[in-house]
Amino acid sequence: MSAMYANEATDTIVIKDEYGYVREVAYWVNSDNEAVIDGDIIYGPVDALMANAYNGEFEDEDQNFFERRAFSVFRGTETWPSGMVVYKYKDEDTEHLLQPFVTKAMETWTRNVPDVKFHRLQNSADRMDGVVTITANPCGGCNSHIGYDKKVPLHMNLQQACVGGTKRGTCHYAEALHEIGHLLGLKHEHQRPDREQTVHFLCENLNPMCSNMPQGGNCCGTSYPKGCCKQKADFTVAYDFNSAGPYDITSVMQYRANAFALPGKNTLVAVAPGAQVPTHSINKLSNGDIRRICQLYNDRGENCR
């Protein structure tokens, strides 16, 4: 079982981000006091998330502004300088647990996108701004920061165990590919503004993850009981990222069909002819993934594949 889909939200909050876009996000707080939003994206210290809480009304956005903006961060501002991702493992035990499949995932990215490189520091190095510390915190799920930030220490967690906790499962090669995609700057494919042209979100199949949902009730609309359906915010579209190019249902950033679903149900179904939402974690990069990272780290995107 993938621990990526065990990241159960504990609350929701409406935020206004640095681009001026207002949206509701589901979040939980990890053992490093970092807020994790959108299922597996480390936002940063929970205080930073609280500081961006928005108490006004939702605003109409300038659609032309968003249309200018693959589903990723913005080139030059949130990408790694010279394409070099600097990282370290928390300690030798973490390295022993994770290094084989993390190295394999990094090699997959560099083999397909030569403009991206990974530079490892010694485990003994202090945690520092602009450097990724890779951990295997128990019950910490699979998650990472998105893109580069020189002002804060960065983090990627790949859980290997969760004894007695709710975040069951482990993170391996497929999850490492996905989380490194976030580190390089990619957002979730299912949160693109044009999602519904290719993939439909079935709110009635979302697991409410609460004990007070009335019989026959579901997560559609807004009338469900307080404390239920927090994970619904993980399926909201996000305009505050670059969403140029076609929807890529084969992307390593695409959530699988039964993400956070009731047993035996699917939350994501294909609506475009010939499209099929994956039923398992994707363990290879798509042409779209490769092209997008090429466009972020070298302007020759169309020549990458």
pLDDT of residue 61: 41
Strand partners, 27: 11, 37
pLDDT(28) > 80: yes
pLDDT of residue 237: 83
Catalytic residues: 179
Rounded distance between C-alpha atoms, residue 168 and residue 238, angstroms: 28
Are 212 and 244 spatial neighbours (Cβ–Cβ below 8 Å)?
A: no
The model's pLDDT over 238-286, given as tens digits with 9 standing for 90+, comes to 776 666 678 999 999 999 999 999 999 999 999 999 999 999 989 999 9
| Binding residue positions for Zn(2+) | 178, 182, 188
- Percentage of the chain exceeding pLDDT 70: 84
The model's pLDDT over 82-125, given as tens digits with 9 standing for 90+, comes to 999 999 999 999 999 999 999 999 999 999 999 999 999 999 99
| Binding residue positions | 178, 182, 188
Which residues, in sequence order, are CB contacts of 114 under 8 Å at separation 6+? none
pLDDT(69) > 50: no
